Structure 1
């Protein structure tokens, strides 16, 4: 790809990448398939029902606004996890937690860019610690979170607990970062913003 786009202080080239985490792979299907990795078999404990509504929208206000619809994503028969083809739609890892749950990680993963332009999560690179993120459930309830940390992980080094429905309640926003290799169709790194639920005083 000869096109380059500036996202904050990071330059990215072309379309999205494969995001891996201890064997977990998110396949960006805006590119032709070919870099397909394999997810480990989901444990029975990870496949659960929940009384909480799945997320349908995510929004950030302030100087770097972000608004996107959210669609559930899960492993394919081949063992891959495909992000939504539309760069404006964010994927929710449906085997993790739902917003409002008292345990687990609500994992939302989105494109930084696609061949059509910047993706829904391009603005993550500009969000600071302290930014408020609102996740809306299918029941219409809004769940506020506050960004508490920013982390960059090398490809293949995402923590496995990002995909867990257990542990302390939190939101994780995931996208690609670092250099883009057009030969492999992959970015070198992943950016994760961690956020904690905002509780009433």
Structure 2
């Protein structure tokens, strides 16, 4: 038998086998490198609700102060995996309450309403990653802003300030596509009086703590 002919036959068969297997291998490769899964992680969206505890914007003489009262907070957080256990996250939240002037003895008086939009982008470390079940702590750090819409008998203003965010929490995975996310997040910023009333009044670097729970949907 012609040896050269046999070698050519095996070569042609190997090429045909490789071409036939390529369509079967492509979906697996696409799944492994999909932009929705990153390096083993999964993209997610988490609608949440909870409670906002606000610090004082200003502390005046004789124990007086100015702040938003504590109130409910609602919003959503999205995440996109960058590497194993590292994700890019962004969130949008809304909280409403009263504008309160604090005073000694009487405790304080509400003088209007304040609605606040909060938004940020940052990095998250930890979480479930590619896992679908179990407990997974996480921590976040980011930067964004807070926009306060204030309505009172004497003024209606809007003020936007830069805010830095720090957060910690726990993911509790119970199905392949869903988990419970518990989070405590601190919004750190200074009320922008110049934006609100046209001139600068030095105030506090206030902390607004959002304590939330939500369902984390993964894709």
Which one has the bigger helix percentage? 2
Question: TM-score range with shorter-chain normalisation?
Answer: under 0.3
Which one has the bigger strand percentage? 2
TM-score (norm 2): 0.25
The structure with higher relative contact order (CA 8 Å, sep 6+) is 1
Larger radius of gyration: 2
